Amino acid sequence: MKETKKTTAPAASLFTKDNYMWMIAGIIVMAIGIILMAGGKSNDPNVFKNTEVYSTRRITIAPILILLGLGIEVYAIFKKPKVS
């Protein structure tokens, strides 16, 4: 019996440089959203500042940025490489 060896091409990378750039952009957008959501601590624990805790920045803008960052991540994962 003759033994045959199968030659396989080296595995191509799953993602390209473009995919990684989109992933980094998504991480940065999510980090900005998390930073905007942080804070709201009062110096006096007996005082509750309603306008600081429930501000538009924390309730609306930060979650939108986090969801936008997640959307960018999904796009980066599913983006097909350009065929040259």
pLDDT value of position 68: 98
pTM confidence score: 0.77
Contact 80, 18 (CB under 8 A): no
Residues written for the chain: 84
* 5-51 per-position pLDDT tens digit: 777 766 677 889 999 999 999 999 999 999 999 987 778 888 888 88
What's the one-letter identity of residue 79? K
| 54 band by pLDDT with thresholds 50, 70 and 90 | confident
Contact 36, 60 (CB under 8 A): no
Which residues, including other chains, have CB under 8 Å from residue 42's CB and lie 6 or more apart? 48, 49, 52
Contact 76, 51 (CB under 8 A): no
Contact 57, 3 (CB under 8 A): no
Domain range list for the chain: 17-38+51-78
